[in-house]
Amino acid sequence: MSDKDTSIVFRLAGGQCRRIIDVDVERAGAWPEIPPPVDSYIDGELQGTLLKHWLEPHPPSLTVDGMTLIYRITAHYVYAMNRPPTLNEQFRIGVAPQTSVKKDDPESQFNPAMAYGNEELRP
């Protein structure tokens, strides 16, 4: 085996921020409805433009009663962003429809500083 490099990595341009949204839904007795992708969206100062999307249907499975089929789909949406969010910039993460959380509630916002445990950046 050779100990020489077999590849070189270099930058042609600045990096591109992408947001990948995966939605996993299931429904008893019929295929679930999936939210359609939007061509673009604005969230505060962040802007996303759809690059690609695809659906990943899973084989139906049975519930514990052995009689009811559960249908499941995972939808994947990839958006190019105008820039990465800053560590002290909150952005929407969505809400599950079966909860009482609304899209503008604080619970539907993500603060990246919280994930890293950075006390100085917390609101």
Average pLDDT rounded to a whole number, residues 5-15: 86
In whole angstroms, give the CA distance from residue 76 to residue 53: 5
Mean pLDDT over 87-96 rounds to 77
Band (118; pLDDT cuts 50, 70, 90) = low
* Position 92 confidence tier, pLDDT thresholds 50, 70, 90: confident
Delimit the domains of the chain by residue range: 15-84, 86-123
End-to-end CA separation in angstroms for the chain: 54
Report yes or no: 17 and 84 within 8 Å, Cβ to Cβ.
yes
Per DSSP, which regions of the chain are E strands?
18-28, 40-43, 46-62, 69-81, 91-92, 109-110
Per-residue model confidence as pLDDT tens digits over 35-65: 899 999 998 899 999 999 999 999 999 999 9
Report the pLDDT averaged over residues 104-123: 68
For the stretch 71-80, what's the b/e string if a residue is b when 16 or more beta carbons lie within 10 angstroms of its beta carbon?
A: bbbebebbbe
Residue 47 phi, psi (nearest 5): -125, 135
- The percent of residues above 70 in pLDDT, for the chain, comes to 93
Pairing of strands 91-92, 69-81: unpaired
69 phi/psi in degrees, rounded to 5: -85, 140
List, for residues 60-82, the tens digit of each pLDDT value.
999 999 999 999 999 999 999 99
Is 108 strand, coil or helix?
Answer: helix
* pLDDT of 123 higher than 60: no
Q: What is the reported pLDDT for 1?
A: 60
